[in-house]
């Protein structure tokens, strides 16, 4: 078996906060350092862009699952572009293809991915300071949702999940 571990980092595009972007960069870097592949929505904005940048600095391999019908708009830090032409329905592919999903920040697209991940019984780590979101998703699926206090906490949780699965 040659199959590689894939960690999905999801989060806002144009609406990402400065804090989200910093977290995403560090997440990408640390995921690559662990030898895991980074999977994102692939676009050249927000959490997708900076997570991929962080991963490439650490010589990681990056997968971008694009909503569009070609590679225009792909992050320059994506190694492997998967072109879906499915719009937001590609969010389901993002979470199904990830061994663990880390949500970095919040938005409508991110919320849809967390919910789709839970629906398919995947494990999701929330890395953001929004108490409302944490409450909502933890109440929705206590067994599937973890809260990370920091980037390094998110990586530690990911390791735990991978080793116990």
Residue ranges in contact with its own copies by CB under 8 A: 1-4, 6, 37, 56, 62-63, 65, 69-71, 74, 76-93, 96-97, 106-109, 111-112, 115-116, 118-120, 132-133, 135-136, 139-141
Q: What is the DSSP letter of 88?
A: G
Give the nearer residue to its own copies in terms of CB position, either 69 or 150: 69
Smallest gap from Cβ 152 to its own copies, in A, equals 26
113, burial (CB in 10 Å: exposed 0-12, middle 13-18, buried 19+): buried
Residue 3 vs 164, nearer CB to its own copies: 3
* Strands of the 62-66 sheet, one edge to the other: 80-83, 62-66, 37-40, 6-10, 100-104, 124-127, 145-147
| Smallest distance from its own copies to CB 147, Å | 15
70 versus 150: smaller Cβ distance to its own copies: 70
3-state secondary structure string across 107-125: CHHHHHHHHHHHHCCCCEE
**Alpha-carbon span 62 to 37, nearest angstrom:** 6
Nearest approach, Cβ of residue 146 and its own copies (Å): 16
d(Cα 64, Cα 53) in Å, to the nearest integer?
A: 12
Q: Minimum distance from CB of 136 to its own copies (Å)?
A: 4
- Smallest gap from Cβ 34 to its own copies, in A, equals 16
**C-beta closer to its own copies: residue 34 or 156:** 34
Nearer to its own copies, 43 or 90 (CB): 90
Which of 83, 27, 81, 82 has the alpha carbon at shortest distance from 55? 27
């Amino acid at each position: 078996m040659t199959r590689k571990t894939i960690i999905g980092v999801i989060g806002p595009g144009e609406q990402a906060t400065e804090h989200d972007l910093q977290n995403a960069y560090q997440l990408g870097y640390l995921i690559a350092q662990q030898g895991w592949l980074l999977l994102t929505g692939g676009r050249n904005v927000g959490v997708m862009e900076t997570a991929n940048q962080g991963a490439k600095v650490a010589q990681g391999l990056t997968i971008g699952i694009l909503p569009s019908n070609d590679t225009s708009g792909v992050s320059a830090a994506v190694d492997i572009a998967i072109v879906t032409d499915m719009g937001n329905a590609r969010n389901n592919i993002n979470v199904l293809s990830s061994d663990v999903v880390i949500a970095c920040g919040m938005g409508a697209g991110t919320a849809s991915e967390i919910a789709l991940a839970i629906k398919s019984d995947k494990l999701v780590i929330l890395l953001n300071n929004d108490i409302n979101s944490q409450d909502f998703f933890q109440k929705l699926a206590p067994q599937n949702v973890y809260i990370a206090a920091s980037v390094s906490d998110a990586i530690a949780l990911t390791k735990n999940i991978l080793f116990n699965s």
